[in-house]
Structure 1
């Protein structure tokens, strides 16, 4: 690359949103520099554990004592990192952060980011979500509604390949789906029982997941899912969507992308005279060399907390408290989803039934509380859904955020009785005092200030957690399942790996950071399109929404660029 070149755009990050920003900008003809703080990971070539089995590892996949020290915070997730996937998670000794209150920050720094290890569950928001803050008088009102984002959901779903079932639910909009994966016999039984036993509209469906299931589909050379359930290692078939298998190659094919790994962006450069951003400052992660790279447009897609950290470090005479931070909203309103609570149970019968393959997906029970007066709860607002699975081994196998499961040999040679389980994912409210700041004393190995998390669950969240446990137990009991065991593991926010907020979207520059097009209000040539822009959290997995907003913002930026607005 030419260090003196001024690019049309710089994209910071190569994960779910960075890949989409790169693709859309490059396909619109913009010469785009894509920066990633971690090393190169080339599709297929660098999926070094993609075909391994647990017996290929000395400790059957478990980390050594030395590695457990390196991944002491990443290991809070439980299901990772293990030996087969540790290279896709950060070394906590090299990447520390401060916890004024416990915050479980699970990260991966490499080309593709967490698009290689995400859970792939893909759900649309509805106006119930976009209007919630205004209705409840909490946080700031979203400046967009479902109709504004719907066509971009269409675009993203059709491109990445989302399998699922249309349900006709107003609060969980239908999408452009490939054929749904199949529920197994126990899940079908539960699907039948739920509407018979409950009159509040609750139901069960197969998860909507970013896996190609149509054997006739040909999405940029990707192939259908092979039901290996080794997705977190990198899929050599491209069966599930990742930046590496999809959007980054699309950007590369245009000839407009320059990709630079090992580039730690720590500041967006602001020109006080021109009153715009002119580029970014980076540290080369290998050589420690400091460089300045120039562009007319900046897209921050580094992941929510990392992007907030970059903005907080981007100080100038005009912005002494961080780029675009006229409102003092930067770093505030940090959210996640409830996680690691739910229930499991045993299921009698069906011992003559089994299933084929390792389905990388489970069932989904959409939100059924606080939808109307009939379903209103008195102790909390907003809602939750469940992800789960039934199996003849460990039900957590099919929950992307949970785990590897029971002994493989046992599950093949001697299937046990049927088991079922479900985990609740609930909404987290956007409190201003749940915030991240820059530490005044602690720095990382590159001399950059560490992020300091002061985030906690509050009364609404704790009350919701109680209902999450109660309702899933009631569902299993109504189905006649046995030995129901409710669980609620001690966690901090962050463990859902759906951290968001900190540069919220809003109409008013006095209370928000970015506008309805994801532009920083006071620096419109800087776009923030990862989870940092979220003004509320809904209860569904957020990545599909990040991608839709990113595609929309990138096309807006390209239009503005062609009109000469960023000259």
Structure 2
């Protein structure tokens, strides 16, 4: 313990500590504060506030010095983030500087980070799809990994709760493997999307297409304005129509008077007390001064992201936990998962030249998983399955950028809408493998004297078998819908590129093969909860953020009940 006097200890003591301010951390903070707990939120990145710190939110393409591109030196600074293609001149201020704070790759791992208040809630795709028992039961039925300690019935009311709060627009479909939710009015498909939907559903049993279920408001909701269809979400939404921690959960937490937010706080480790068998707080290194500070609380929520949460726990060693906090099973840091990404098919469409669409809809279509959902769709080629996201657009004036044409007629032509095209990309499930892991380097440390993370994880046979099917099924559907010039694509990339990293502190029933119990508590340290992607026991095909939020609300509810029973 640092040399803190009694007054300093009191000043640094809270009811709860939340590590991380992203999707799950922000939700934890809101829930804890609204339940009356004085809560400290620790964010390793700089302070970012809603609207005030969205410098590019209203800029047009021609307002940027480099027309949206990163400079050569910036690409060196963002060498991992740039591999993804997500970071550009208009949003670089939210992304992590890889050169300043690198990690080590035994196998390539594309870890996309946002070291700012709100984390990746400022950058996420906002797609919100529930899991079903097809997902929660898969491991047990197939003998893969370990069984989830929960089922859909356990989390369904918390999905309801999270969706009502967040504001998820979408269409109810009545599919058992993609449960319906509490939806705001759906966005509208354009004419080509409606045509493709009709053709796919008429020609392929068990294949369906819907508008994306997305955390963009289609109507005013809980004091937030409706989406303006600008499609500038990744720059920060001044209307609050795009759900993020800094526009929704953290302000709601602050309204209670119970929130303390501390940015530039690099969490070193969790403090464990052997006598009580509980955690008493966390050690923090000030990002700028490098000073070590200790904060104390009754309960701790770790929501730093799957790799970062596991790293904090691995670095939290003691006589009781020589291999990391709660790591009796040896599974901490293992079982890294993500989703297949950047592969699918695209094609062009002839016709509908007299039709267009209004605005720049920040959403696309969704084709739910249709492989291995029942006996009729079973394949022996691979386990699990994949869904698709994408949509139809008409090309704009940008199509003339590489043209050799010139003159008034050429320019006038670019002011007319171009050809229709349709693209769909697959999100496929990656299985949990013990050997897919991250760990702490034995000697190399970062500038805050914390061991660097090492990633050693990659695709295996089931994933390699699945990828050709993701592409061929996409092409088959587009061709059946009347698209021409259909081509498949595979943009490659490693684990992490889907930005859905999961599994490093998985939930389970048995402390011998898992880190967390059914309520996201560390088995052996009951006042520490993990509700970010680290907790996941399998990866499904769906974007996971709404599941993290539902699990977080459920875990906070359980924590409060345990506090009232004097068990925490």
TM-score range, shorter-chain basis? over 0.9
Matched position secondary structure for 1:269 = strand
Distance 1:532 1:132 in 2: 19
Distance 1:151 1:474 in 2: 38
Pairing 1:300-319 to 2, within 5 Å after superposition = 300-319=302-321
Q: Tell me what 1:149 maps to.
A: 155
Distance 2:167 2:395 in 1: 29
Instruction: Say if 1:505 and 1:533, in contact at 8 Å, map to a contact too.
Output: yes
Residues 412 and 305 of structure 1: CA distance in aligned 2, closer, same or farther (over 3 Å): farther
**CA deviation after TM superposition for structure 1 residue 503, in Å:** 0.2
Residues 449 and 412 of structure 1: CA distance in aligned 2, closer, same or farther (over 3 Å): farther
Matched, 1:135 2:141: yes
Matched, 1:158 2:160: no
Matched position secondary structure for 1:374 = helix
- Selected match of 2:34 from 21, 27, 33: 27
Distance 2:442 2:566 in 1: 40
Distance 1:548 1:266 in 2: 27
Distance 1:251 1:28 in 2: 10
Matched position secondary structure for 1:4 = helix
- Selected match of 2:115 from 102, 109, 112: 109
**CA deviation after TM superposition for structure 1 residue 412, in Å:** 7.6
Q: Which moves more between the two structures, 412-421 or 507-516?
A: 412-421
Q: Tell me what 2:60 maps to.
A: 53
Distance 2:545 2:412 in 1: 35
Distance 2:144 2:35 in 1: 38
Matched position secondary structure for 2:10 = coil
**CA deviation after TM superposition for structure 1 residue 488, in Å:** 0.6
Distance 2:74 2:458 in 1: 29
Distance 1:30 1:361 in 2: 36
Distance 1:56 1:287 in 2: 36
- Selected match of 2:506 from 504, 507, 524: 504
- Selected match of 2:297 from 278, 295, 300: 295
- Selected match of 1:77 from 84, 87, 103: 84
**CA deviation after TM superposition for structure 1 residue 3, in Å:** 5.6
Instruction: Say if 2:283 and 2:293, in contact at 8 Å, map to a contact too.
Output: yes
Pairing 1:137-536 to 2, within 5 Å after superposition = 137-199=143-205, 201-214=206-219, 217-219=220-222, 221-393=223-395, 413-536=415-538
Pairing 1:1-16 to 2, within 5 Å after superposition = 4-5=10-11, 6-16=13-23
Q: Which runs of 5+ in 2 are unaligned?
A: 1-6, 402-410
Matched position secondary structure for 2:323 = coil
Q: Which moves more between the two structures, 309-318 or 49-58?
A: 49-58
Q: Tell me what 1:65 maps to.
A: 72
Q: Which runs of 4+ in 1 moved over 4 A?
A: 404-407, 409-412
Distance 2:8 2:58 in 1: 39
Matched position secondary structure for 2:14 = strand
Instruction: Say if 1:393 and 1:406, in contact at 8 Å, map to a contact too.
Output: no
Instruction: Say if 2:343 and 2:492, in contact at 8 Å, map to a contact too.
Output: no
Matched position secondary structure for 2:469 = helix
Residues 460 and 351 of structure 1: CA distance in aligned 2, closer, same or farther (over 3 Å): same
TM-score, L = length of structure 2 = 0.95
**CA deviation after TM superposition for structure 1 residue 195, in Å:** 1.8
Instruction: Say if 1:222 and 1:245, in contact at 8 Å, map to a contact too.
Output: no
Q: Tell me what 2:405 maps to.
A: none
Q: Which runs of 5+ in 1 are unaligned?
A: 395-403
Distance 1:146 1:411 in 2: 53
1:181-226 Cα distance to aligned partner (Å, 9 max, x none): 0000000000110122112x10110000001112xx331x211111
1:362-406 Cα distance to aligned partner (Å, 9 max, x none): 000000000111101111010100001100028xxxxxxxxx999
**CA deviation after TM superposition for structure 1 residue 410, in Å:** 9.5
Distance 2:82 2:10 in 1: 42
Q: Tell me what 1:547 maps to.
A: 549
**CA deviation after TM superposition for structure 1 residue 2, in Å:** 6.3
Residues 363 and 406 of structure 1: CA distance in aligned 2, closer, same or farther (over 3 Å): farther
Q: Tell me what 2:406 maps to.
A: none
Residues 252 and 306 of structure 1: CA distance in aligned 2, closer, same or farther (over 3 Å): same
Distance 2:295 2:136 in 1: 36
RMSD: 1.7
Q: Tell me what 1:123 maps to.
A: 129
Q: Tell me what 2:559 maps to.
A: 557
Instruction: Say if 1:506 and 1:535, in contact at 8 Å, map to a contact too.
Output: yes
Matched position secondary structure for 2:157 = helix
Instruction: Say if 1:392 and 1:411, in contact at 8 Å, map to a contact too.
Output: no
Matched position secondary structure for 1:196 = helix
Instruction: Say if 1:4 and 1:293, in contact at 8 Å, map to a contact too.
Output: no
Distance 1:196 1:524 in 2: 52
**CA deviation after TM superposition for structure 1 residue 562, in Å:** 2.6
**CA deviation after TM superposition for structure 1 residue 559, in Å:** 1.9
Matched position secondary structure for 2:375 = coil
